Amino acid sequence: MSFPTRRARHVPRHRAPARRPGASASAAFALGVTVAATATLGAAPAHADPPVQLTGITAYQPSLSPWYSPQQVDHCLAGNFDCAPVTIAKMDAQLASYASSCDHRAPFALAYLRTTEEYQRAVTTPGFFQDPAFLNVWDVFFASYYFKASDDWSAGNTAAVPRAWQIAFTAADNKSVSGLGDILLGMNAHINRDLPYVLAGLGLVAPDGTSRHADHLKVNEFLDRVAESMLEEAAVRFDPTIDDLDSPYGITYTAFMQIIAVWRESAWLNARLLATASSPAARALVGRTIEQTSATIGLTLRTGSLYLPSMTTARDDYCAAHHG
């Protein structure tokens, strides 16, 4: 089996392609799972800006030092706009490595890189976020959860990798799921598993008592801006079934964004449960629920995204010719 050569379609942004008969299986499945789950720094100033004041659970704030220099950490904790380019550079290098070898982790790496690039455009747009400095801190801590899981997996330290990430990385290593499956497995792990801890760790309210939920929702806006072009690029470079609506493995960007928006709101609610837990035991129970739920979603997504061996071979052959 082989895939035909694909060229990028030039479709108006924000417009979902028209659905065709037989094209709804993947979107309906993924939505069903969702409902069921309910860069380099410039020169440093003589004195670094003070850290952004946080109001969350410090136990959920990981060290940034494995991936950022001490100077970069100071910039990131101050909410400096120079931090996102460093994260983007790391993601870009990782994607280049995955793409060149047609590693099945490449589709998610591409998705995360493109959304982070869009984040940088959003956060530097005056007035887009209420608290852009805080969002810069959020962005780097969120990325650090992914970097840690990815590095631990690559180093063979699998016991340290959360179960949802284990499911995603195992599927990629075994080349057992579609390109869309790889993207959704990664996003499930990062949103349903990682994001509640990041939100609770940094704080759901600003020091003045203002809820940060409005900025949380604004993230959905820039994700919506990039979703269609990201899915199309992943299809053109790695797996043409990703946005092929005649394939059971395809999805529209509208359905994709519905999934992501519901997952992100669920993450906010779980973060609130972590932050308001009445005791360490109660908080641990919330944590176990987060781990179990994200793993269950991952297993269900994996089952629904399984490839036949012949399709895996066709995907690899296609990637070898088009990964760019």
pLDDT in tens, 146-198: 999 999 999 999 999 999 999 999 999 999 999 999 999 999 999 999 999 99
Query: What per-residue confidence (pLDDT) applies to 37?
Result: 54
105 occurs within a structural domain: yes
| 3-state SS class at 101 | coil
At 16 the pLDDT is 34
259: in domain: yes
Tell whether 61 is covered by a domain.
yes
Work out the mean pLDDT of the chain and round it to a whole number.
Answer: 88
Weakest mean pLDDT among 49-53, 70-74, 97-101, 246-250: 246-250
Task: Kindly state whether residue 15 falls inside one of the protein's structural domains.
Answer: no
Q: Is the pLDDT reported for residue 3 higher than 90?
A: no
- State yes or no: pLDDT of 41 exceeds 70: no
pLDDT band at 249 (very low <50, low <70, confident <90, very high): low
Kindly state whether residue 145 falls inside one of the protein's structural domains: yes
Structural domain count of the chain: 1
* Rounded distance between C-alpha atoms, residue 110 and residue 183, angstroms: 9
The answer to whether the CB of 195 falls within 8 A of the CB of 189 is: no
Q: What is the pLDDT of residue 252?
A: 81
For residue 6, being part of any structural domain is answered with no
Whether 277 maps to a domain, the answer reads: yes
Start-to-end CA span in the chain (Å):
22
Higher-confidence residue: 250 or 276? Answer: 276
238 is in which domain, residue-wise?
Answer: 25-36+56-322
| pLDDT grade for 9, boundaries at 50, 70 and 90 | very low
